[in-house]
Copies of this chain bind each other. A is one copy, B any other.
């Protein structure tokens, strides 16, 4: 079975770990969000790709969900001693090495997809990890700060401001001119199932879908497309998805996110059992919907994620058989 998964960071990575357990023989291609990539200290940092790579490769800091385990921060301390920031973005010493290798390879002329493949040779994530595009796409957030309206990098909004101010708009700068990375459209065309993990529907999966050709390829693939709600009981499972949903005028509920994707894209939708009341509304929108436990909480997270993946694959079979 060939499965294509569109993934953001922590939520996507943890779901993927469950999917690998649920479908150990599947051929999994992950299309990773690169809209939250950022240049820091002259280095190219790809937070979502790295979170997937580290999580599946066994190098992740399990507690915080991103970055390397057993990490130190000497490089960053020294950069601060030089007065060079930003200080609000956490880069550990081991993590720095990844960005140094990536930046060196990009500087030598390799596209991000080739760089990602090379990095994965070390991590052996057990999936094929593709960036959504080799072209630069950068998600900016329009906010009002000190009375002035300005656009900040997504990471500045998310990490520095901690989404503490309203987002007026979310703009994946460069997306309209970006091309899907090599292999992306082919993987979608050859997929048996396409899954949207409980990643952020706006700044993770939404950004991937903003790359021209990807949304169309998924809609035209003719295979079940099943998603998992990142909203449980009207609140995001993780992060601050409600903040960026509001910028799009989408209410923060499991049903509203399904409607936002729409039945033209989505065939099946899983909501948490606490949102069982939303099933009817989602199905009314033409999307088959089931309520199952959707909390990937530690310590049973790995098992819960596998159960969620099994439920998603079962729903996909239901869609196929219908």
Contact = CB atoms under 8 A, between A and B. Distances in A.
Interface of A: 41-43, 72, 74-79, 81-84, 93-94, 96-98, 100-101, 103-104, 107-108, 119, 121-122
B122 A98 contact: no
22 contacts: A41-B100, A42-B104, A42-B107, A43-B100, A72-B74, A72-B93, A74-B74, A74-B94, A75-B96, A76-B97, A77-B97, A78-B96, A78-B97, A78-B98, A79-B100, A79-B101, A81-B97, A81-B122, A82-B122, A83-B122, A84-B101, A84-B104
B97 A79 contact: yes
Contacts of A103: 42
Most buried by B among A42, A100, A119: A100
A40 to B, nearest CB: 9
A76 to B, nearest CB: 8
B72 A97 contact: no
B107 A78 contact: no
A85 to B, nearest CB: 11
Given A82-B119, A82-B122, A122-B83, A75 B93 contact: yes
Contacts of A119: 82
A82 B59 CA distance: 13
A243 to B, nearest CB: 31
Nearest to A106: B42
Contacts of A93: 72, 74-75, 78, 93
A247 to B, nearest CB: 32
Contacts of A94: 74-75, 78
A100 B43 CA distance: 8
Nearest to A118: B82
Given A42-B104, A75-B75, A77-B97, 9 more contacts: A41-B104, A42-B107, A72-B74, A75-B94, A75-B97, A78-B97, A79-B101, A83-B122, A96-B96
